[in-house]
Structure 1
Amino acid sequence: MSDQQTVANVVRNATTHNNKGDLFTSFDVEDFEVPGGRDEVWRFVSLRRLRGLHNGTFAAQAPAQIAVEGPSEVTVEQVSLDDDRVTAAGAPVDRIAAQAWTSSESATLITVPDRAELTEPVTVTVTGAGLDATTFGTVMIQTGANSTATVVVRYAGSGTHADNINWVIGEGSRVNAVVDADWNTDAVHVGQQSIVVKRDATLRHHVATFGGEVVRITPRVAFEAPGGDVELTGVYFADAGQYIENRLLVDHKVPNCRSNVLYKGALQGDKSSPLPEARTCWVGDVLIRAEATGTDTYETNRNLVLTDGARADAIPNLEIETGEIAGAGHAATVGRFDDEQLFYLRSRGIREEDATRLIIRGFFNEVLNQIPVESVRDELIARVAGELERNEN
């Protein structure tokens, strides 16, 4: 039995790790058992709705449709999966991410050179291959030292898709990342993002999920050296038949780094619909290791349940192994919008429908206003308005 098989057997015997930053990892799908509904990291999503991504019974595989556009300074390559540059962010932590890696023919490597200051965004567009097809993707975005870049990852179309979108944020670089899951309503997407943040690097990572039948995105951030500064923000809106899960980990393993997490979501259902109830799940894990002195971190998740027939789960977790930190905290809420705000606006002569729209738009704008690409920001604001109009109809 190989050493890796021995480790995998230890994992299966439930002695997996000392904390959530030390999960078993592997690039090989066969090193992971098929997950069950009682497994902690899968207990919220209906495995039956994953179309076989978790157990290998998925529909016929089609080639991944990944297109990259960007400034001339950026290099785009198709490279082998065992290229050291592609594996630099680490291996998958679950079976579906490993399936995506194992099933990919190659990896798309996007490199921003040292000291580059990109004035236009790099856009990565992933398009589904159709309802009866399954696609897998592996993408690595690597920014050089002291560079500045904005990267937009867009998902569109129909189908079943799993991928690894990994990042290495170079020393002293400043990166804005926007992940826009604008799938058709019949798409299923499970994606892992492993993010390594080097010394004095700054990352602003934004996730927007409005489309898809089932969408599960799991960013995992690891600080490699002191001075890192990361903000993770997200917005999501679920209707009847949709399941959206955001599961995050921020691993403070070195001193003097900062992180802030802010995700906001809304749900609206229809109890008379034959579709499953609108459902979202947000799990935010922050780990402060013993050696991570001087850490400053906070995470927040807010959810608005707009109608009956909708359910939101919000689970913040803070694991602290040292008391020598600048600060740490978390907050999460699930509820209906503020009736006092509605009363205030109505008392000023604003119709109830218009007042409701204003409150919900204001709720999301705290996050949306942080997105640096104006066209993307405007599009997402318009999507929120469209969701509200759908609720009224």
Structure 2
Amino acid sequence: MSAQPFVRLKNVTRTFDGGGGVDNLSIDIAKGSFTVLLGPSGCGKSTTLRLIAGLETPDRGRIEIGGRDVTAAGPSERGLSMVFQSYALFPHLDVAENVVFGLRVRGVARKERDKRLAEALALTGLEGLGDRKPGQLSGGQRQRVALARAIVADHPLCLMDEPLSNLDAKLRHSVRQEIRALQRRLGMTVVYVTHDQTEAMGMADQIVLLQKGRVEHMGPPAELYEQPATAFTASFIGSPAMTLIPAAALPHQFLPSSARVSELQLGLRAEDIELMPEGRGPLAATIVSSEFLGAETYVYLAVDGAPPLIARLPGRDERAAGQRVSLGWSPASPHWFDRESGKRITLSSDQTSSELVSQPAAV
């Protein structure tokens, strides 16, 4: 990836009469990268994509593509293609005509159009389907037509707005693998909007997690999962989500030393929680139910003095609903956050207790 950002949003603000939009947004996107804009409904991810596309104009700030200021430029001047959730295909045109429609409008010669069409159909697995109408295709095939249309445009930047949301779960998985493989093969820079964290974690080089129009955390997927910058990031990334527990619910001996309890909350990933005999760990809990999923079991727990949580255990777990247990974790597992600001707190070694958890034992 280039050190110089290929797409840059600098202090961009766009607000609407009804609220929403983005506020003082700064994002750098490297050339050839796959960047995912992720977040809950109303967080500003689609607005951000529309700002990059030129479909919205910022109230303040600057947008650059390829080192060029495009803040006031129209969509056709930005050198990009788009793939939409709705496919946006012409129903009366066949696949081939849909794919090359933009090239025809731009006056590209027939020989060049045919060459690009053949390449795009081959890349997207649509060979032999060029004479079919969109109504004769499956949802996955229609999405591939939209991808082929983006490929023939031969633009270095492709924007994708929740392109898989109309597909069923199995098809979404296969098509997202195809999109990622195509992006790598073609070297395109892709900016991809989704509310699905599984898509984001599986596809992205960089995730930009948005909340209320601001960047909550921007970085590689592993960083957001393993070192979340805020409590919101911790609770949004991961399935099951990280459980956040007020420090006041923990016995004093299991808390970091030299820390004000009222200012802390503890974050635990489901896979880091261990079950042990009652009275052996820092949290007492009751098993509510469990789900055996083959390779792992989710155990749902009601916790004394704390929010309910889920433990993800390997293989099959035979503990019964209603059984009392204690919960523990290794000293390296906890994530600590400031309760007021939600920001991550990094504790020095002398602030953490080596006795945060008793040695687990079978129940």
TM-score of Structure 1 vs Structure 2, range by shorter chain:
under 0.3
Q: Which has the higher contact order (CA 8 A, sep 6+)?
A: 2
Relative to its length, the structure with more helix (as a share) is: 2
TM-score between both structures, scaled by the size of structure 1? 0.26
More strand by share: 1
TM-score relative to the length of structure 2: 0.28
